[in-house]
Amino acid sequence: MDSNPRTLAFFVDDEVQKSYIVNIPSAVRLFAFFIEKNSSFEILKYEYLSKPSAKPQQKGKLQWGQTWEFKL
């Protein structure tokens, strides 16, 4: 097991979002699903940090490799 598990945090307008993903593998592909027509997003930065800078909420924790349910 990795002694330094990877975490993915999401930000909107520099504000950390409640959902985040833990135990990310060393290589991943990103996909997006849009619900509303003409929606978009932009990845502004992708970086490896030796120490986390985000402070996500515990209740938004999602485990990599599991199925996630979202209420719309």
Number of separate domains in the chain: 1
Domain membership flag for residue 55: yes
Domain membership flag for residue 57: yes
Residue 60, phi then psi, degrees to nearest 5: -95, 10
- Domain residue limits at 49: 1-26+43-66
Domain membership flag for residue 38: no
Domain membership flag for residue 71: no
- Residue written as token pair 């598990």: 5
Domain membership flag for residue 34: no
Q: How many CA atoms lie within 13 A of 50 on its CB side?
A: 0
Domain membership flag for residue 17: yes
Most confident stretch, 5-9, 20-24, 57-61, 67-71: 20-24
Q: Give the model confidence (pLDDT) of 7-45 as tens digits.
A: 888 888 888 888 888 888 888 888 888 888 999 888 888
Domain membership flag for residue 72: no
First-last CA distance in the chain: 34
Question: Is there a contact between 3 and 23 (Cβ–Cβ < 8 Å)?
Answer: no
With a threshold of 0.75, does the pTM exceed it? no
